Amino acid sequence: MHGSHGHGDHKGHEEEASAPKEPETFQELTDKNEAYRDGYLEGLKTGREESNKTESDNER
């Protein structure tokens, strides 16, 4: 027989409400979106360049 180790005992374990997070301003969200978009576009550009380089190498 096992003693009570607390396994499966979820009583009284209510999730504590974390302090409400301040909503981000529209400007902060805009800045994040711009940074995300810039990174995304840079990644696409890099991927295309690598893809084109590979295709050029294969044509030789």
Per the listing, tokens 């978009």 go with 37
| pTM over cut 0.85 | no
Residue 59's nearest CA partner among 23, 29, 51 is 51
Residue 56 confidence class, pLDDT cut points 50, 70, 90:
confident
pLDDT value at 52 more than 70: yes
Residue 53 confidence class, pLDDT cut points 50, 70, 90:
confident
Amino acid type, 41: L
What pLDDT is stored for residue 8 in this prediction? Answer: 62
pLDDT value at 5 more than 90: no
Per the model's pLDDT, the better-predicted residue between 60 and 27 turns out to be: 27
